[in-house]
Structure 1
Amino acid sequence: MSTWALRRSSVLLRSRGYSLGTTRDACVNLRKITCVEDDAGIFESSLRTYYGLFPSKTFYHTGHASLKFTVNSRELSSQVDATSKKEEDDLGDGFSELDRPAADNDDELELSDDDEDIEGPQNELELSETEIDSAEKKSPGRRAQSELFKAILNSPGLSVRDTLDKWIEEGKKLERPEISLTFFNLRKRRMYGRALQLSEWLEAKKQIDFVERDYASRLDLLAKVRGLHKAESYIDSIPKSFRGEIIYRTLLANCVSQTNVKKAEEIFNKMKDLELPVTAFACNQLLILYKRSDKKKIADVLLLMEKENVKPTPFTYRLLIDAKGQSNDIAGMDQIVEAMKAEGVELDLQIQGALAKHYASAGLKEKAEAVLTEMEGGNLKEHPWVCISLLPIYADLGKDDEVGRIWEICKSNPRIEWCLAAIEAWGRLKKIEEAEAAFELMLNKFKKPSSRPYTALLKVYANHKMLLKGKDLIKRMADSGCRIGPLTWDALVKLYVLSGEVEKADSIFHKAMQQNQMKPMFSTYMAIMYEYAKRGDIHNSEKIFHRMRQAGYTSRYKQFHALVQAYINAKLPAYGIRERMRADNVFPNKALAAQLTLVDAFRKTPVSDLFD
């Protein structure tokens, strides 16, 4: 591959504080970089760059750039000055945290993946499934309900082992396909605690011979249930012959899912020290990490990929397109697309959907509609699955006629995802009756109780502050016997918060956490915390901050931004807040630094100077 077009010219590698080292066997030769600053303080470079990508403007105003980043053959490290970082907790990512194929969604139980954090993620982003499960997803008959899964699902939360012991006592067999399907179903519902108990029981009872992927699955579950420290410690107990790339990349992915920059870089460096191969998966994880935490360092990952001859995947390009789109650099986004085409990389539906979404956000309606038309392909009946992408984007464009046309085609033989997309799209267009009609159609078509349609409609009610309708819907949901998970909690909390009842939202959320083992979404906590901060309610803001830490969410800019705002609105100093941020390895960007000066108990003012 002669060129794969991945580096941007405008990163100020040396003149603005970057240091690209050449220790040991590494050798990275850079042409001279010349930069000029435009009126906005954004730099452009005359460098044609490696592989021709990102020749447009930088992601950021560079200002007081003092980031130092070193890429050696065996090292990846970063140090950040307290005033240099730009807040990039972009919890609105349109991509999954992992480079994985889309799972079939015929199962109607709620997928609790944090799509907002992935953003969604994510999720947000939270990793719902890691690549170690790919074999499980391909298991024959994966759509069928596993008998073992049903038994575990019906057992009390802390007695999974008793259920498994009983399974063996009754003479039932435990074979790989059944076990894999059970793990898949548990992970799909984010029942990580039960999945971990199953994994531990299987090894303790020697029911199967563990291979590297089994150990990696256990590691992943430990990271999700008991934290990164426990997961990392577990590696020492894995036989050396199985401590390969899959093990460490699984830990790396979990570090990234928690946006733990320091630990992620540490694990990546360790992989290099162990001379494990540098894979596209690992590099994509770093891109996800820096797309959230510091976009300036994306270029350094691309340089590392070039040096290590790591070929970018379509997911790599999707991440770069999304990063450009979030920065409203449409020209740069288009150049990435051209680079992809030059390399013969197909623009799949996810990439096209991302392009259309960012064109729509930038007000480029004609370009967005052109992409949507290309996605539709002339005959929607031949490939109606694209409705999932078309419906919400047409809604963003305000095209209720197009939403109606597409929905008419879909609803003759609807699938779950199409109905959910229609509910969301009609909600965005403020067509509440149409959203409710799509909801009723879904309930009539799919008889098995599911929380997903309820959650989708609940979000519509929340966004339009329709509290009474939301309450009625929740009662109907409870009567139906649906299983309620993090996505529903999120919608319910936001319903009460947007209706001005934050205390009620907090109370419901706290009870839900006590009654369930599933991890709540990041955005759910933040919806409550932001509302308390607006009121200057320091006590409750600190309470939510503490609960997030207990739930396993490492401190990030958003938490500290909300917390400091609470002190500002309360007109009280925040003693020790800077020390708390340093302890959590969080460094203020320009906006947060300005906030901190307002809550500094020892700051000088014109009045205080009179008394000095």
Structure 2
Amino acid sequence: MWALRRASTPLRNQGYKVRTSYVFGKLEVPFFWEGNVAGFGTTTALSDRFISFERNNLATWPSAGVYISSHGLSTQAGAENSGEEDNVKDGFSELDETLPSTSPLEDSKAADDNEEELTSGSEIDDDDDNAVDDGTQNELDLLEGETGLAEKKSTKRGPSELFNVIWKAPGLSVASALDKWVSEGKELSRADISLAMLYLRKRQMFGKALQFSEWLEASGKLNFTDKDYASRLDLIGKLRGLRMAENYLAKIPKSFQGEIVYRTLLANCVIASNVQKAEEVFNKMKDLEFPITAFACSQLLLLYRRTDKRKIADILLLMEKENVKPSRFTYKILIDAKGLSNDISGMEQVVDTMKADGIELDFDTLALLAKHYVSAGLKDKAKATLKQMEEINSQGSRWPCRILLPRYGELEMEDEVRRLWEICESDPHIEECMAAIVAWGKLKNVQEAEKIFDRVVKSGKKLSARHYSTMMNVYRQTKMLTKGKELVNQMAESGCRMDPLTWDAVVKFYVEAGEVEKADSFLVKAVQQNKKKPLFATYMTLMHHYASRGDVPNAENIFDRMRRLGYMGRFTQFQTLVQAYVNAKAPAYGMRERMMVDNIFPNKALAGKLAQVDPFRMTEVSDLLD
């Protein structure tokens, strides 16, 4: 039996209770199920929820229990469409997300909440508390084992002539460019098509990739398989939203509506943080009797790591019952969940279980561990892990520098930063430059960061908003507001359009300079003019500040704007909103009911704050004082 999850009480005929000491392997569930469901009219503790195995359904009930089965997964949680997460640095995710189908901005492409994902690559773009993923390589790995092979081939061959034709085609003219190319007698092999599609995805040229896919089917140049249909569905999900992706799935020939197509739709639901839709798709897959795979379960683990960590245990139970062996991806999600909850001991226990399962630590997993050691202030462990990462790279490849540089910067190891930069300095890639800028920014060495950024600007390469945001965050961290504003002007003059990541940097700039109202006004105008969706963290920056000064009206306003854009009631949103009422010493009428609607349950700390702003309790105290 899989050792990752053990119950603290023995299995009974019809189920067993999950208590506070509940563990998977030796991994205690972080800060879940403490005490009673505070303030919700029940004395039933979440730690005593009854879990029963049945084959027809899996439903989560606030107090009655969690029912796990092999055919269904449903919840009363509200949908959480968080928008298109343009960047997925999770080596997993990370991810392109879609706006909710009810949003007037549905067709826009915006970055999602910046929750720290699981890969090392994200840190080069932004501050750790605002890391946004850049690609979808792991979480949406449609070919899973085949992707590695394709990447090896692409490394040897480089971008193909076919890719260059698509890349150079202006706007929506990919089809005509390809027609002309074929009319010249060029032949198309599946290998050429796969390689071109891989490069389009790696460069996030999803619009052209979709045009390419549409042309292939319309021209009959490729006999579509289930993987080709899955690829098209994924691109539609990225660019046009979940609703259009579902519509496309219904049009796929029945014989090709297999597990990989539904798996792709599930991954897109996770990208969008749409809990309800993800669970519906998972249910559908089980109803169709597709095998329960580590990939599908890992997608739900990734989703619950963001939205409701209490449900992680439920998925682990399901995996154990169905004898689903956890993958490396599964372990990385659990490592990240432990690290994010600052449970370093638990994180290390996950690593031990992973090793015992025969999965060795690779570079990315070590990078993940290093990130959490740094965040926890465990410098010695972080340094040892970084050195281990360098030993793995004994062949001397340069690419790990972009991951190692920011970490050494955080650890204030200037000699190591300088050593690594000297390796790249003679002919640096742009991402190595960005990593070095982040590292020097952590060391408060603005002069070195500026020198590298100026070099990038003068290189003649077209810079994206992400690159400007990297330098802007250096100015933000060093409180250099004037230079930050100058950089924004420089960015505008270069013709580079600001994106949600840049908005986030500007908003934080203004907030940290004490100009909160200007930050809020800037964000409102940015959304109106660009029709894109700001990052989750951008709104939370404003909301945290309003809460800290007890500004309930503005905190509620931010909360409402987030909901209208699809950021549906998450724990951190309610936690911050309640803090606004606490600081204002104002009663929060109906707060418990609002949380129940979104299936959000308070932990011990939040329950205490809710008690402080309970309007009836406050009235009783006031009467006594009078």
What TM-score do you get using the length of structure 2 for normalisation? 0.75
Q: How does 1:243-392 map to 2 (within 5 A)?
A: 243-377=257-391, 382-392=396-406
Q: SS state of the match for residue 59, structure 2? A: strand
C-alpha distance in structure 1 between counterparts of 2:205 and 2:562, whole Å: 19
For 1:406-458, what per-residue CA distance to the aligned partner results, in whole angstroms no more than 9, with x for missing partners?
A: 22223233222222121112212222222222322333456333444321110
C-alpha distance in structure 2 between counterparts of 1:416 and 1:381, whole Å: 22
Change (3 A) 1:606 1:260: same
The answer to whether the 8 A contact 2:113-2:537 is kept is no
C-alpha distance in structure 2 between counterparts of 1:599 and 1:201, whole Å: 59
C-alpha distance in structure 2 between counterparts of 1:213 and 1:277, whole Å: 17
C-alpha distance in structure 1 between counterparts of 2:366 and 2:143, whole Å: 26
C-alpha distance in structure 1 between counterparts of 2:141 and 2:354, whole Å: 24
Q: SS state of the match for residue 323, structure 2? A: coil
Shift of 1:469: 0.8
Q: How does 1:405-484 map to 2 (within 5 A)?
A: 405-445=419-459, 447-484=461-498
Change (3 A) 1:70 1:249: farther
Aligned twin of 1:117: 115
The answer to whether the 8 A contact 1:256-1:285 is kept is yes
The answer to whether the 8 A contact 1:69-1:78 is kept is no
Gaps of 5+ in 2: 37-44, 67-79, 96-108, 123-129
Aligned twin of 1:43: 21
Q: Which residue identity does 1:251 align to in structure 2?
A: L
Does 2:53 align with 1:80? Answer: no
Change (3 A) 1:455 1:480: same
Aligned twin of 2:412: 398
C-alpha distance in structure 2 between counterparts of 1:522 and 1:493, whole Å: 12
The answer to whether the 8 A contact 1:97-1:257 is kept is no
The RMSD of aligned alpha carbons is 4.4
Q: SS state of the match for residue 377, structure 1? A: helix
Q: How does 1:100-111 map to 2 (within 5 A)?
A: none
Q: Which residue identity does 2:491 align to in structure 1?
A: M
Q: SS state of the match for residue 216, structure 1? A: helix
Shift of 1:532: 3.4
Change (3 A) 1:13 1:242: farther
Aligned twin of 2:142: 132
**Mean alpha-carbon deviation: is it higher for 260-269 or for 114-123?**
114-123
For 1:256-309, what per-residue CA distance to the aligned partner results, in whole angstroms no more than 9, with x for missing partners?
A: 233333433332222111101111111111221232334343333233223333
The answer to whether the 8 A contact 1:114-1:487 is kept is no
C-alpha distance in structure 1 between counterparts of 2:460 and 2:317, whole Å: 49
Shift of 1:610: 5.3
C-alpha distance in structure 2 between counterparts of 1:539 and 1:250, whole Å: 41
Q: Which residue identity does 2:398 align to in structure 1?
A: P
Alignment equivalent of 1:55, drawn from 21, 26, 37: 26
Change (3 A) 1:166 1:410: closer
The answer to whether the 8 A contact 2:371-2:407 is kept is yes
Alignment equivalent of 1:552, drawn from 566, 571, 574: 566
For 1:571-596, what per-residue CA distance to the aligned partner results, in whole angstroms no more than 9, with x for missing partners?
A: 55444444443333333333444444
Shift of 1:475: 1.6
C-alpha distance in structure 1 between counterparts of 2:430 and 2:91, whole Å: 20
Aligned twin of 1:513: 527
Shift of 1:554: 2.9
Q: Which residue identity does 2:416 align to in structure 1?
A: E
Percent of residue pairs bearing the same amino acid type: 52
The answer to whether the 8 A contact 1:494-1:505 is kept is yes
Q: Which residue identity does 1:131 align to in structure 2?
A: D
Change (3 A) 1:304 1:481: same
Alignment equivalent of 1:488, drawn from 467, 480, 502: 502
Change (3 A) 1:285 1:56: closer
For 1:327-353, what per-residue CA distance to the aligned partner results, in whole angstroms no more than 9, with x for missing partners?
A: 333333333333333343221111111
Q: SS state of the match for residue 131, structure 1? A: coil
C-alpha distance in structure 2 between counterparts of 1:393 and 1:580, whole Å: 40
Q: SS state of the match for residue 554, structure 1? A: coil
Q: How does 1:557-576 map to 2 (within 5 A)?
A: 557-576=571-590
Change (3 A) 1:63 1:450: same
The answer to whether the 8 A contact 2:469-2:501 is kept is yes
Q: Which residue identity does 1:117 align to in structure 2?
A: E
Q: Which residue identity does 2:325 align to in structure 1?
A: K
Q: SS state of the match for residue 496, structure 1? A: helix
C-alpha distance in structure 2 between counterparts of 1:533 and 1:186, whole Å: 43
C-alpha distance in structure 1 between counterparts of 2:480 and 2:201, whole Å: 33
C-alpha distance in structure 1 between counterparts of 2:548 and 2:203, whole Å: 34
C-alpha distance in structure 2 between counterparts of 1:551 and 1:223, whole Å: 17
Alignment equivalent of 2:517, drawn from 486, 491, 503: 503
C-alpha distance in structure 2 between counterparts of 1:194 and 1:493, whole Å: 32
The answer to whether the 8 A contact 2:612-2:618 is kept is no
Q: SS state of the match for residue 520, structure 2? A: helix
Change (3 A) 1:378 1:597: closer
Gaps of 5+ in 1: 23-29, 36-41, 46-52, 101-110
How many residue pairs match? The answer is 560
Change (3 A) 1:399 1:551: same
Q: SS state of the match for residue 78, structure 1? A: strand
C-alpha distance in structure 2 between counterparts of 1:457 and 1:447, whole Å: 16
The answer to whether the 8 A contact 1:74-1:273 is kept is no
C-alpha distance in structure 2 between counterparts of 1:229 and 1:314, whole Å: 31
C-alpha distance in structure 2 between counterparts of 1:548 and 1:96, whole Å: 27
C-alpha distance in structure 1 between counterparts of 2:544 and 2:65, whole Å: 24
The answer to whether the 8 A contact 2:234-2:245 is kept is yes
What TM-score do you get using the length of structure 1 for normalisation? 0.76
Change (3 A) 1:511 1:132: farther
C-alpha distance in structure 1 between counterparts of 2:251 and 2:331, whole Å: 37
Q: SS state of the match for residue 5, structure 2? A: coil
Change (3 A) 1:490 1:166: same
The answer to whether the 8 A contact 2:421-2:436 is kept is yes
The answer to whether the 8 A contact 2:50-2:64 is kept is no
For 1:91-139, what per-residue CA distance to the aligned partner results, in whole angstroms no more than 9, with x for missing partners?
A: 9x98444499xxxxxxxxxx98669324378976898562238789757
Q: Which residue identity does 2:572 align to in structure 1?
A: K
The answer to whether the 8 A contact 1:211-1:242 is kept is yes
Q: Which residue identity does 2:262 align to in structure 1?
A: Y
C-alpha distance in structure 2 between counterparts of 1:142 and 1:74, whole Å: 49
**Mean alpha-carbon deviation: is it higher for 204-213 or for 580-589?**
204-213
C-alpha distance in structure 1 between counterparts of 2:134 and 2:449, whole Å: 28
The answer to whether the 8 A contact 2:90-2:133 is kept is no
C-alpha distance in structure 2 between counterparts of 1:179 and 1:421, whole Å: 33
Shift of 1:55: 2.0
